[in-house]
Amino acid sequence: MCLAVPGKIVEIEENDGLQMAKVDFGGIFREACLDYVPEAKVGDYCVIHVGFAISLLSEKEAMETLDLLKQITNFEEELGPEPGAAPA
């Protein structure tokens, strides 16, 4: 129910007093209301839930988290297989 999907804003226009965007979900386009993320602009990625943007995604934070997790995985590769593990 609280499922929300990241999408990219491709157009913004006003409709019935609401800021409405055309949002690209990897090639599928839906309408979403931007009133809760008034700072959003065309090209930004937002988390969209039932036709509303609820959060503007931070690329900086996203990259930092991914880098951190990649370090964990590389750490494992550097250590090599566990002692006693069967050769691959």
Partner 1 sequence: MKYVTEYRDAALVKGVIEEIRRTVTRSWTIMEICGGQTHAIVRHGIDQLLPPEIELVHGPGCPVCVTPLELIDKALEIASRPDVIFCSYGDMLRVPGSSRDLFSVKAQGGDVRVVYSPLDAVKLAKANPDKQVVFFAIGFETTAPPNVMSAMQAKRLGLENYSILVSHVRVPPAVAAILGSPTNRVQGFLLAGHVCAVMGYHEYPPLVEQFNTPMVVTGFEPLDIVQGILETVRLLEAGNVEVFNAYQRAVTLEGNIPAQKMIDTVFMEVDRKWRGIGTIPMSGWDLRPEFDQFNAEKRFQVETITADESPLCIAGQILQGMKKPHDCSAFGNECKPEHPLGATMVSSEGACAAYYRYARVKP
- What is the contact surface with partner 1 in residues (CB under 8 A)? 1-6, 16-18, 26, 30-31, 33, 35-38, 45, 47, 49-52, 54-55, 57-59, 61-66, 69-70, 72-73, 75-76
**Cα–Cα–Cα angle for 24, 26, 27, rounded to 5 degrees:** 70
**Least distance from partner 1 to the Cβ atom of residue 50, Å:** 5
Cβ proximity to partner 1, 16 vs 86, nearer residue: 16
Cβ proximity to partner 1, 2 vs 87, nearer residue: 2
Q: Are 54 and 6 in contact (CB under 8 A)?
A: no
**Least distance from partner 1 to the Cβ atom of residue 70, Å:** 7
**Least distance from partner 1 to the Cβ atom of residue 22, Å:** 14
Can you tell me the distance from the alpha carbon of 11 to that of 8, in angstroms, rounded to the nearest whole number? 9
Q: State how far the alpha carbon of 41 is from the alpha carbons of 10, 22, 44, 73, in Å.
A: 9, 11, 6, 35
Tokens of 85: 């593990």
